[in-house]
């Protein structure tokens, strides 16, 4: 019989906290090995965290919406399925204290404030809800808890430690211990959990708190505009040849690879060829230095319910069209199931985004720092065009936008790169590439 502490995982070297966005299980429930226990978000990625064992959930130590330091316990799971859930004793302690705080908020709403208040007083020492409830019932003040030597992980005080302390100390009346606390200033009300709707002034206004991902997107977009003078070169691309080729090849490709052949695969392949021809586009700026990357790590924006993420196809310059399609499908599935890792999201040297999937004709995207360029495509639409021989024809046309950092890329190189992508898309022979 053992208890396992589930800790807040570190999703990357620079990540120090994570926010609990959703618990999939409650205290007292049985959870299978590798079943999803909770969802967390950081400023870079959202992830589903599986259970490390098959067992019964004893405690969930933080509520949804709480932001927790990496490495700190967030749940306790007992592998003895017949064990009594310890948190079942907590309601008794709360019930005993009910007359003192009849008008107080519900315990779930108090949790973030109580934890933050006690941590700030005690050098970030954490006490479980069970220990806090037992201490309050026995009249043990927080200042006394600080001096109890804990036998739990990282010196944490557990139930046995507190019971041993109470047995040797002797219980004090709860009211006496509570008196000094009654004069302490009440903690300030905290913001609602992530995503919780609020109203202000009128029921015709709804305020929704940004989640971590949206905060990060907002911060990065402002930073990019402040860092790079954006220039956009736009051209129309005749996709008629590729539309016909895709229609001819898509069923066979689906049967062979299990992947839908999309126009994005063609565009990504064309971008790779253009980057090989114009290597200065595959660069970044560090101070007064230009860093030209020899490897092409191509980011591709993927829409999720909480916003765009940009997983990276590593070493895309070494892949054929089928290889690019396989990698993109794998990354897109990981994005939709919240299983992207920091490695999947880092190291990009150039980025592609497809606004055409939303029916947009033209868009001018924001550069993803520290890259110096991003390519965007619009929707493919049939239009009447005047051809070179003055003939009138109906063609499947698409606008392409190359947005680039004018600190390094001038209009000539930026436009040549766009022309190169256009050329490869209009002359590509997919039958020889897949």
pLDDT of residue 200: 56
All domains of the chain in start order, with CATH: 3-182 (2.40.50.100), 213-432 (3.30.559.10)
Which residue is associated with the tokens 């992508």? Answer: 421
Task: Give the residue with greater pLDDT, 337 vs 156.
Answer: 337
Q: Which of 126-130, 149-153, 300-304 has the highest average model confidence (pLDDT)?
A: 300-304
Q: Which residues pair with 48 in a beta bridge?
A: 39
The CA distance from 359 to 352, in Å, is 17
pLDDT, mean over the chain:
80
Mean pLDDT throughout 192-201? 51
Catalytic residue among 34, 80, 318, 410: 410
**CA Rg value for the chain:** 29
Whether 116 and 127 have beta carbons less than 8 Å apart is answered as no
Q: State whether residue 100 is helix, strand or coil.
A: helix
Q: Which of 174, 178, 76, 187 is nearest to 126 (CA)?
A: 76
Q: Which of 7-21, 67-81, 122-136, 283-297 has the highest average model confidence (pLDDT)?
A: 283-297
Residue 410 annotated to the active site: yes
Per-residue pLDDT reduced to its tens digit, 277-294: 999 999 999 999 999 999
pTM of the entire predicted model: 0.62
Confidence of residue 373 (pLDDT cuts 50, 70, 90): very high
Task: Give the residue with greater pLDDT, 265 vs 433.
Answer: 265
Confidence of residue 111 (pLDDT cuts 50, 70, 90): very low
Q: What is the pairing mode between strands 197-200 and 202-208?
A: antiparallel
Res. 109: pLDDT tops 50: no
Residue 211 annotated to the active site: no
Q: What letters, b where the CB count within 10 A reaches 16 and e where it falls short, cover 126-156?
A: bbbbbbbbbbbbbbbbbebbeebebebeeeb
Q: What letters, b where the CB count within 10 A reaches 16 and e where it falls short, cover 321-351?
A: bbbbbbbbbebbebbeebebebebbbebbbb
Q: What is the DSSP string of 201-250?
A: SEEEEEEE---HHHHHHHHHHHHHHHH--EEEEEEEEE-HHHHHHHHHHH
Q: Residue 97 is encoded by which pair of tokens?
A: 């204290």
Task: Give the residue with greater pLDDT, 223 vs 211.
Answer: 223
Q: Which residues pair with 57 in a beta bridge?
A: 77
Q: Residue 390 is encoded by which pair of tokens?
A: 């003055």
Residue 261's contacts (CB-CB under 8 Å, 6 or more residues apart) are 246, 249, 250, 253, 254, 325, 434
Catalytic residue among 34, 79, 343, 406: 406
Q: Which of 374, 199, 210, 207 is nearest to 306 (CA)?
A: 210
Residue 255 exposed, middle or buried by CB count within 10 Å (0-12, 13-18, 19+): exposed
């Amino acid at each position: 019989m053992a208890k396992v502490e589930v800790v807040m995982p570190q999703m990357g070297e620079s990540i120090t906290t994570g926010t609990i966005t959703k618990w999939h299980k409650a205290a007292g429930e049985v959870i299978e090995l590798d079943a999803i226990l909770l969802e967390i978000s950081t400023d870079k990625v959202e992830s589903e965290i599986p259970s490390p064992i098959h067992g019964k959930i004893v405690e969930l130590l933080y509520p949804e919406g709480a932001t927790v330091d990496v490495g700190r316990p967030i749940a306790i799971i007992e592998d003895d399925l017949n064990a009594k859930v310890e948190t079942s004793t907590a309601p008794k302690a709360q019930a005993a204290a009910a007359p003192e705080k009849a008008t107080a908020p519900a315990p779930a709403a108090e949790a973030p404030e109580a934890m933050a208040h006690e941590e700030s007083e005690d050098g970030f020492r954490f006490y479980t809800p069970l220990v806090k409830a037992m201490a309050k019932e026995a009249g043990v003040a927080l200042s006394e808890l600080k001096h109890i030597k804990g036998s739990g992980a990282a010196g944490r005080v557990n139930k046995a430690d507190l019971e041993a302390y109470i047995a040797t100390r002797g219980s004090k009346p709860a009211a006496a211990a509570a008196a000094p606390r009654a004069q302490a200033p009440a903690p300030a009300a905290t913001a609602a959990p992530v995503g919780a709707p609020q109203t202000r002034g009128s029921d015709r206004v709804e305020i929704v708190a940004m989640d971590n991902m949206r905060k990060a997107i907002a911060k990065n977009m402002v930073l990019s505009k402040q860092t790079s003078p954006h220039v956009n070169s736009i051209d129309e691309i005749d996709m008629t040849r590729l539309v016909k080729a895709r229609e001819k090849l898509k069923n066979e490709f689906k049967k062979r690879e299990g992947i839908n052949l999309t126009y994005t695969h063609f565009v990504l392949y064309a971008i790779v060829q253009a980057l090989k021809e114009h290597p200065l586009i595959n660069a970044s700026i560090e101070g007064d230095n230009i860093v030209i990357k020899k490897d092409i790590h191509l980011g591709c924006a993927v829409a999720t319910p909480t916003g765009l993420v940009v997983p990276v196809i590593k070493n895309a310059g070494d892949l054929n069209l089928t290889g690019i399609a396989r990698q993109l499908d794998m990354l897109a599935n990981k994005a939709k199931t919240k299983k992207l890792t920091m490695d999947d999201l880092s190291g990009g040297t150039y980025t592609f985004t497809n606004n055409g999937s939303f029916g947009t004709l033209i868009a001018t995207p924001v550069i993803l720092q520290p890259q110096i360029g991003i390519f965007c495509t619009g929707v493919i639409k049939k239009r009447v065009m005047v051809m070179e021989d003055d003939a009138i024809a109906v063609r499947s046309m698409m606008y392409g936008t190359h947005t680039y950092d004018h600190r390094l890329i001038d209009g000539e190189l930026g436009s040549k790169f766009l022309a190169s992508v256009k050329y490869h898309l209009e002359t590509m022979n997919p039958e020889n590439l897949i």
